[in-house]
Structure 1
Amino acid sequence: MNVENIAVKKVFDSSLLRRIFSFAVPYKRSFIISMLLTVVLAVISPLRPYLIQVTVDKYISNQLLQMLVWVTILQIALLLLETVVRFFFSYLTNWLGQSVVKDLRVTVYKKIVRLNLAFFDKTPIGTLTTRTINDIEAINDVFSEGIISIVADLLMIIAILTVMFLEDWRLTLVSLSPFPILIIATYIFKESVNKSFYQVRNAVSALNAFVQEHITGMVVVQAFTGEKREFARFRQINKDHRDANIHAIFAYSVFFPVVEIILAISLGLMVWWGSNKVLNYEVTQGVMIAFIMYLNMLFRPLRMLADKFNTLQMGLVASERVFKILDNQDYIPDRGHEQGRDMKGAISFDHVSFAYVEDRYVLKDITFDAKPGDTVAIVGHTGSGKTTIISILNRLYEVQKGSIKIDGIDLAGYSLQALRSRIGVVLQDVFLFSGSIYDNITLHNAAISREEVISASKLIGIHDFIMQLPGGYDYQVMERGSTLSLGQRQLISFVRALLYNPAILILDEATSSVDTESEQLIQNAIDKLIADRTAIIIAHRLSTISKADKIIVLDKGEIKEMGSHEELLKLEGFYYKLHSMQFNASAAG
């Protein structure tokens, strides 16, 4: 289980913040409006306490009932206006965040589908899923609960403090004298919650990875009676997750009561000092009432600021991981212009060497040719490099040495889409998506009609089986095709390859997972197909390749022998030994 731990970072990265906001450029009007609304809220907030002060000092004390009615109406109007402004502010910031998330997720997924397969070889699937979904969703908080919300709270605090100092600077200073304690408490809370958030994120990652991995591999867990051991591990990981959350809960449980106590002290000091001034007619009753409201309004955003700063920082951390994917240059350059519409299928490998890891070559100086219409079989022990040959032919990886040409044109001369659309592949490990059989065959290609699907299925011999399923071609395949047998999945993938009418057909152990009857169906279809196209067949069962025009024997990434079935048997070398082993095994069986 590969779990990526998140390290705590103390400093905000302004460049990350600028890059996040660059995705908001298409929505700059909404961003500007939301920022203007923060100013409106900052102006409106101190008005209601001030009106109450005026009401008490001027209208109530002087019994001006008519003005009292109008001030009350004005108060209600201001309250409604503030409610409407807060609604639009909240809606706009969340809409802006979700719009950025939508665009960013599209950008990231577009990047992922273009990345080199070597990137996926060394990056866990769970990590990419987290980047595409969870981390990008965390970036939404930068807008909805992060920088814009922080600016709104800061403007409100500045506005309230300004009004308080203008009203009575001495009363303000007395009221705010406990603030140093609040600043210290806020800093401690921020650091504690920040650390807890990172622990929670790491715990969630570990929990998700464990559950995903073990549900996928449940057959292994049960087959080796590992239920109790794995359950014990799960309980420990789940306990770590609970403890991380409890640490965060503890910080909140301490901080908010502390804020309430500091607010109570501030109010007490204000009442103690202000009451003497009221008795001496130095401060009015209206000012005292207004200050009580000012302090409550002041402490409300202060309670949340530290939490919002942590949310912003977590959004920046998530964005850093997302941008690492966007900055990844590990992809196959697609600069070719050849479309290969008239591709004949002549293949040429010229001294090709390839390594997944630098200087650890799995293919060494591979040279062979295939004429249009030839059937080339590649055999060898597991790990000899058979599948690697078809991977680099399909340009899923770039070769380090030598060149590969089709119809005399280097692979880099073809556009990737054109090259891969002219090469049909049937893999040993068939992958079916959740959805209907029809969608799995066409891969949602609207250019392929149902009649073509049915015709290809009949050619393979799987049509009758499909029609026996509930819904026929609309039968819903479960995840990875778990409701179908290996042979049935193999046959469906074969139909998928046929429909694209490739110039080159690649069969990677295409019959290794099917029963004898299914193998015969595939073999009959292969015989019809390879008459008009170049075919590369990788097989363990040598009986399926005896008719091949050329057989290449690989061992440890090198070509040991090459020739027809009869020629290789006469050599009594690698191929002869492989053939003898399988023949003896079949006879013994």
Structure 2
Amino acid sequence: MRLKFELPIEVSREVEGDILYALPFDLSFDGKSEEGNVVITKSLFYIFKNKVLEASYPLEKLQDCEAKQLVGSGLFSAKIDEEEQMICGFKPKWFKRYVELAKLINYYHKTGEHSTYEEEQEEYICPKCGFPLLNGSKTCFKCQSKTKVLRKIFAIGKDYKKVFLYTLLGTLVMEVLWIVNPYILRVIIDDYIVPKNQNVPHLLILLAVYLTVFATITWFERFVMKWTNLLSNSISRDLRNQVFVKIQELSLSTVSNRTPGELMNRINSDTEKIQEFISNYGRDAINRIFSLIVLSILLFVMDYRLALMVLVPLPPVLYAVTKMQDKMGLRYWKQWRKHEKASSALHDILSGIRVVKAYGNEEIEIKKYTENVDQVKDAMINAETLWSKFYPYIGYLMGLGEFLVLWMGGYLVLGGKMQLGQLIQYTTYITMIYVPLRWAIQLPRVFADVFVSAGKVFELLDEECEMEEIDEPIKKEIIGDVVFQDVSFGYKVYEPVLKDVSFEVKAGEMIGIVGHSGAGKSTLINLLMRLYDVADGKITIDGIDIRSYSTQALRSQIGVVLQETFLFEGTIIDNLRYAKPDATLDEIIEAAKVANAHEFIVKLPDAYHTVIGEKGHTLSGGERQRVAIARAVLHNPKILILDEATSALDTETEKKIQEALERLKQGKTTFAIAHRLSTLQKANRLLVIDKGTFAEMGTHEELLEKKGIYYNLVMAQKQTTHMKQ
């Protein structure tokens, strides 16, 4: 989120030191329009009204900054010298920015340090050129090194050097044969046809050689196409796999910064563009350059005057094409943005199709998606229209060179200074040399398109994983003793979610985690699963910091049953085997029985082989939950996490699931989150989290006796239940 806006010159002159944050405000305290600016440097806080300095304070004097949302307006206030003061008023559009500013100033007051906010901003701007970037992106398509991207593209095919070599040699042989053929044609015309030479055997031999060369070209072309297809499709497969593997390796926070539609674009559309570039241009690059060099030499050797006429139009053409590249790149970047937006919209609509139909909003969603697709169409037309307007002029200039050669060549033939066969050979070579020239002229346009996609793919592949493993991670079997030691964490450094949380859990204990919504309960278990790394402190399992464990070894010994159960499209047995791919049918049935799922599964049309559809939509909520529990039973984890595993279920279903969970918990260290506090009474201890801090810990009875936060939660819930009855 942008917190540094351009200041009027009169304001900038009054500010001393480097500006960290600068926000405008547009309302007075009585709700009237008023122009002003709040400016923060490393040590001072300035308030300007109508470009005039109203007040300035040492930054350390500001505390308890707050952005208050009023009706149709907002108010920014702070304590200065222990006295609360109103700083400025603003329209609703500025509210979120002032909320962030308040957090940053409060963080400075608490720590004496300025947060590295620029690295955590939500609106991404290229620091070099000021061009907007995609959320989660660090690469500017305008500033990225084209040479570096090109090297990376061709480095993808390093495992297929043999196939690439075959393709290249075959293509070079074809090109040489294409160059030889006009020479044979010239000999036939100048030595046999024009002088009416009657030496038929020699003529037939030349014609046979001419046709043999054509046949050889056709034969090589067949195999070159085969090798090219093998090369491009192999590279495409490898690249898709690399991107997918990288997404799996990245931390949850990094992946969450990008929409599913954007990630699907990078795996599918962007890799496909790179594949097309390699197959259509990678092989041709050396081939075309070879043809250009050889044909240029031949043309100059045969007649340098005609060769110069061929080259006359090239300098202005190349200059114009180079100037067009940035404009084309901008249009292809916009096209990529629109395509990503349409993909995200499609993903959301299809994922929520049941909700769409439940509310009868099919027409609304059709209109929404059609608008997105229309924007993609307009962006594509905009990109191609620019080139279509520009390219005919290039074609005209190129054709001008051919016209000059024909005019001069015809003049030389009529003057007896050049034979007809020579002119035909020469014009054939000109036609051939324009193939690599036109290919080269197309390159800036092709580069503009592929560099946008390639930049996005390589940015993802080069992304550093926030949770790096040590060189020799531990892969031992865990027992289940868990310790949180002074753990602090925030998705933003100046906005901690957990603060100095410490507690111990013995193997086999069940701990209930209690607290208001947003207190940090889910964050606690996310840190235990190492979906994120702690900011301060450490979490140990069996006395070993979880960062020392192999991520795979750690998570493979932790089982999770969530409120929102996710089942994959496929059969029930496929979903159960997800926890243990080599599980036998007997093991699967036993796990289902433990989870109270076997009874309803055998009543399904194909029992365990019943296809349950995407996210298991053909099953009820309770049935999906029991399948998830059976999956956890089969997984047989050492540590079990239950996150609202029995909420929103009817009494009978909840009873069956509770019975299944009781069997599942046996001998496992269990962390259970539940809003219905009655479901946690069997926990060995209850941990109460309040505003991210460790508040209370004890048994149900002990915490009731304390009459603290837990007691108030229980009383409030009982009162709510009584009111419902």
Give yes or no for TM over 0.5: yes
Q: Distance in 2 between matches of 1:176 and 1:297?
A: 14
Query: Aligned residue for 2:691?
Result: 556
- Which one-letter code corresponds to 1:458 in the other structure? K
* Residue equivalent to 2:382: 247
Equivalent of residue 117 in structure 1, options 231, 234, 252: 252
1:184-583 matches, within 5 Å, as: 186=321, 193-217=328-352, 234-251=369-386, 253-254=388-389, 257-258=392-393, 261-262=396-397, 265-335=400-470, 337-341=473-477, 343-443=478-578, 445-583=580-718
CA positional deviation for 1:313: 4.5
Task: Report if the CA contact (8 A) 2:142-2:326 is conserved.
Answer: no
Separation in structure 2 between the aligned mates of residue 12 and residue 147 of structure 1, nearest angstrom: 18
**Paired amino acid for 1:23:** I
Residues 131-210 of structure 1: pairs in structure 2 closer than 5 A: 131-174=266-309, 177-179=312-314, 182-183=317-318, 186=321, 193-210=328-345
What is the SS of the residue equivalent to 1:514?
coil
The reply to whether residue 46 of structure 1 matches residue 179 of structure 2 is yes
Return closer, same or farther for 1:547/1:260 CA change in 2, 3 Å cut-off: closer
CA distance in 1, matches of 2:412, 2:318: 28
The SS at the match of 2:149 is helix
Q: Residue 564 and residue 79 in structure 1: after superposition, are their counterparts in 2 closer, same or farther (change >3 A)? A: same
1:433–1:481 contact (8 Å) kept in structure 2: yes
Q: Given the superposition, is the C-alpha separation of residues 234 and 109 from structure 1 closer, same or farther in structure 2, using an over 3 Å criterion? A: closer
CA offset at residue 73 of structure 1?
Answer: 1.2
Letter matched to residue 241 of structure 1: V
Partner residue in 1 for 2:211: 76
Residues 594 and 633 in structure 2, CA contact (< 8 A), matched pair in contact too: no
- SS of the equivalent of 1:46 reads helix
Which residue type is aligned with residue 231 of structure 2? L
Conservation of the 8 A alpha-carbon contact between 2:259 and 2:344: no
Amino acid at match of 2:660: A
Deviation at 1:543, TM superposition (A): 1.4
The answer to whether the aligner puts 1:100 opposite 2:235 as a matched pair is yes
Per-residue CA deviation, residues 208-238 of structure 1 (Å, 9 max, x unaligned), is 2233334434566677787777666555443
Q: Is the alpha carbon distance of 1:257 and 1:363 closer, same or farther for their aligned partners in structure 2, counting shifts above 3 Å?
A: closer
Range with greater deviation from structure 2 (520-529 or 3-12):
3-12
Whole-Å Cα distance in 2 between the matches of residues 11 and 447 of structure 1? 46
**CA deviation string 1:323-379 (max 9, x = no partner):** 2223222342333654443x4322222222222221322112222222222221111
Give CA deviations for 1:391-442 in whole Å, capped at 9, x if unaligned: 1122222112222222333323433222222222111221111221111122
In 2 relative to 1, CA 255–287 (structure 1 residues): closer, same or farther, beyond 3 Å? farther
Contact 2:190 2:419 (8 Å CA) reproduced = yes
Check the 8 A contact 1:442/1:496 in 2, yes or no: yes
Mark the CA change 1:274 to 1:532 in structure 2 (over 3 Å): closer, same or farther. Answer: closer
Q: Is the 8 A contact 1:346 1:372 kept in 2?
A: yes
Determine the structure 1 residue equivalent to 2:134.
4
What whole-Å deviation, never above 9, does each CA across 1:12-46 have from its counterpart, x for those lacking one?
63233223333322222233333333432332222
In 2: Cα distance, 1:514 partner to 1:428 partner: 10
**1:48 alignment partner AA:** N
Q: Specify the code of the residue in structure 2 equivalent to 1:368.
A: F
Give the 3 Å change call, closer, same or farther, for CA 444–529 of structure 1 in structure 2.
closer
> How far does residue 498 in structure 1 lie from its aligned partner after superposition?
0.8
Give SS of 1:553's match: strand
Counterpart-to-counterpart distance in 2, 1:410 and 1:174 = 75
User: For residue 5 of structure 2, what is the aligned residue in structure 1?
Assistant: none
Q: Secondary structure at the match of 2:469?
A: coil
Instruction: Give the distance between the partners of 1:100 and 1:89, measured in 2 at CA.
Output: 16
Out of 132, 149, 161, the position equivalent to 1:28 is 161
SS at match of 2:479: coil
Residue 45 of structure 1 aligns with an amino acid whose one-letter code is: W
The SS at the match of 2:497 is strand
Comparing 141-150 with 266-275, which one deviates more in the overlay?
266-275
Query: Could you give the per-residue CA deviations for residues 456-495 of structure 1, whole angstroms, max 9, x where no partner exists?
Result: 1112211121222232212223222222222222111111
Partner of residue 112, structure 2: none
CA gap of 1:147–1:395, structure 2 versus 1, over 3 A, is same
Task: Give the counterpart letter for 1:300 in structure 2.
Answer: V
Q: Report the residue type matching 1:30 in the other structure.
A: V
What whole-Å deviation, never above 9, does each CA across 1:159-196 have from its counterpart, x for those lacking one? Answer: 22322222233334445555556546655776665454
Structure holding more strand per residue: 2
Match of 2:55 in 1: none
Structure 1 position 7, deviation (Å):
5.8
Cα distance, 1:14–1:118 mapped onto 2, change above 3 Å: same
Shift of the 408–178 alpha-carbon distance from structure 1 to 2, 3 Å rule, reads: closer
Q: Secondary structure of the equivalent of 1:330?
A: coil
Does structure 1 residue 59 correspond to structure 2 residue 192? yes
The 1:581/1:261 distance shift into structure 2, 3 A limit, reads same
The structure that is helix-richer by fraction is 1
Q: Does the 8 Å contact 2:342/2:373 carry over to 1?
A: yes
Q: Distance in 2 between matches of 1:316 and 1:131?
A: 13
TM-score (norm 2): 0.74
Q: Whole-Å Cα distance in 2 between the matches of residues 219 and 255 of structure 1? A: 48
Deviations 1:230-254 (A, max 9, x none): 6665554433322232234435545
Distance 1:392 1:492 in 2: 26
Asked if the contact 1:348/1:368 (under 8 Å) is kept, the reply is yes
Separation in 1, partners of 2:309, 2:636: 84
Q: Deviation at 1:443?
A: 0.9
Query: In structure 2, what is the Cα distance between the partners aligned to 1:225 and 1:475?
Result: 29
**Deviations along 1:269-288, whole A, 9 cap, x unmatched?**
33433333223321111112
Greater displacement, 566-575 / 172-181 = 172-181
Task: Report deviation, 1:507.
Answer: 0.8
Answer with 430-439 or 121-130: which moved more. 121-130
Structure 2 residue 253 is the aligned partner of structure 1 residue 127: no
Structure 1 stretch displaced more, 227-236 or 417-426: 227-236
Q: Deviations over 1:282-304 (max 9, x none)?
A: 11111122233223223333333
The alpha-carbon deviation at position 51 of structure 1 amounts to 1.1
Q: Which amino acid aligns with 2:183?
A: Y
Counterpart Cα distance in 2 of 1:118 and 1:178 = 54
Contact kept, 8 Å, 1:352 with 1:363, in 2: the verdict is yes
- Map of 2:42 onto structure 1: none
Gaps of 5+ in 2: 1-121, 124-132
For residues 114 and 178 of structure 1, the distance between their equivalents in structure 2, rounded to whole angstroms, comes to: 52
In structure 1, distance between residues paired with 2:302 and 2:700: 101
- Supply the distance in 2 between the matched residues of 1:261 and 1:410 (Cα, whole angstroms): 70
- Distance in 2, Cα, partners of 1:176 & 1:359: 63
- Answer whether contact 2:640 2:668 (CA < 8 A) is retained: yes
Figure out how many residues of one structure are paired with residues of the other and give that number. Answer: 588
Distance change >3 Å, CA 517–CA 248, structure 1 → 2: same
CA shift, 1:53, in A, is 0.8
Distance 1:492 1:337 in 2: 33
